[in-house]
Amino acid sequence: MHSLFVIGEDQSFSPQWSTYLQNDARVEKAVPGEFTNVFDRMSFPGVVVVIPCVSAIPQELISTVMDNGLEHVRNGENVVFSGRGEEGQALSTAAAAYFFNAEDVHYIGGLDGSLDALTMAMDVMFRLSARGHVIHRRRVEGLEHNPASLLAYMNVLSRNLDPKIQSYELAPLILGVLSGTMADADISALDLQLSPGDENNRELTLPAHALSGARLVRQWTKGMKRTQAASVINFPMNRIPAKRLPGLVDFIDEMWASTGLDSASITLLRESFADISPYSDPDVLFVCSFDDEHAYNRMLQVSSLLSPDVYVWNTCNDTLHRYSQGELKQIAVQPGILEQMSVIVFVGAALREVIGVQETNAMIVLDMTTTDVLGLMQNEHRSFTAGVTETSVQKWNETIGHADRIIVSSSQQRDLYLGYIAGLKRLNAMAYDEDHAYNSLVAVEDGTSQILTAINYPRKALDNVKSVPLYQKTPYGMLAKRTAQGIVNELVKKTGNTVDKAKGSVQK
């Protein structure tokens, strides 16, 4: 198994590491902006080992960490080792050593060479999690804990999360950093240093730490062009909607802990921005006809089992409702509401009953447990509206052809839908290799378990495929050496429609 070791720019391996640095191992120092794109020349299978600070792993623990890490990768798992923190699944975290499957890293875009070693590893960990990989955090007593700087968390968050979540999480964070570092300083002195009549005073009387918050914000914003380019690359690779990423709350809490602010100040800052919270609005929309008793009751049953509120679209009169605490209330239709949704559930309804839904990035779930689609096609073969002739078959072809997950009520219906989907040429060979039964595409409902799983853990059929050939070379290799506009032009020129494929317009 080929190995790529990435270490901090001022780090080096001691002789005790020689056992693991064989001829097929490459060692690279992560110098931000100068990291060479050796990753594209790796052969699979392989492992990417990121060790930000070599001294964080004592000599007596080298074999323990390395042997366990390599064994996890051989078993198809990604793992990080830390000296503290809870064990289990993690979205992104500061750790002493990171072990990633090289092929997994390749298909999420590669390594971002504009970052230091620790931030690079946290960024990879975040992107793998967003694609559906489970990253395990293991605790090894004796490992030194080198916490990430606040800048590292800001870089990871700003590269990967939805802009609305970024604005909500970063606004109070930046305010807290600035207010915290300026708390003991006479901020009126800032104006005096530059005011007319005082030009001869060349001394800055403020303590050095007073400007650390400003330096942090400046350093972060200087990299925003590169960050925007990273976002362009990450977007088609993020399979799980940002608001539903497992471990997101823990990541945000860890980021706040890196500020050194007390818990009371953090609570006050976050509550001050509650009015722009993206978590206060539902991100699940049900679509059904209130005149269809079975579909309506099914919608109410599932909605009552979801902890957050949900939106409901009534196809009878195109009205929007909000289901909250057991009550369904009509509300005004909000502009751009479809773009805000993570999951849209059609309960026995056709896709064209909601205009614009095909242009969203939401996961489309089709719940057909209350609907006999074969009967609909037979009994309503043709309909005549406004002089336009269309068939019911075409309407359901369009709906089933676009759905990411389909929930049915029996194995017989499942066979019908799989045959239907095969006729639409949607059965993907790569998805079949991972899931011979195609349960990730069409599932038989057992009460409400399947529909709740599809909503709470929105993953598409191809999300279970370990290697989807989207890129011949990793885009982050180009990102390390080019400007934001340059990387976008490069992707358009050299990869053709691969971004469209990644978004799912060609394969689902």
Run of H or E including 189: helix 188-192
- SS3 (DSSP) at 98: strand
Owner of token pair 């890293």 = 105
For residue 349, what pLDDT is reported? 92
Q: Is pLDDT at 501 greater than 60 in this prediction?
A: no
Owner of token pair 């239709």 = 333
Topology annotation, domain 284-464:
Rossmann fold (3.40.50)
Average pLDDT of the residues of the chain: 81
Q: Is the model's pTM score more than 0.85? A: no
Cα–Cα nearest to 227, from 178, 166, 136, 270: 166
Question: 486 or 239: whose pLDDT is higher?
Answer: 239
Cα–Cα nearest to 484, from 475, 471, 472, 496: 475
Question: 496 or 108: whose pLDDT is higher?
Answer: 108
Average pLDDT estimate for 49-77:
95
For residue 492, what pLDDT is reported? 55
pLDDT digits (tens, 9 = 90+) for 23-57: 778 999 998 877 766 777 777 889 999 999 999 99
Same fold: 2-148 with 284-464: no
Q: Is pLDDT at 239 greater than 50 in this prediction?
A: yes
Q: What percent of the chain has pLDDT over 90?
A: 35
Average pLDDT estimate for 449-453:
91
Question: 401 or 70: whose pLDDT is higher?
Answer: 70
For residue 199, what pLDDT is reported? 55
pLDDT digits (tens, 9 = 90+) for 264-322: 889 988 888 888 888 888 889 999 999 999 999 999 999 999 988 999 999 999 999 99
Which range has the top average pLDDT, 76-80, 202-206, 353-357?
76-80
For residue 47, what pLDDT is reported? 94
Q: Is pLDDT at 355 greater than 50 in this prediction?
A: yes
Q: Residue ranges per domain, the chain?
A: 2-148, 151-184+210-275, 284-464
Topology annotation, domain 2-148:
Spore Coat Polysaccharide Biosynthesis Protein SpsA; Chain A (3.90.550)
- Quote the CA–CA distance of 121 and 103 in Å, as a whole number: 15
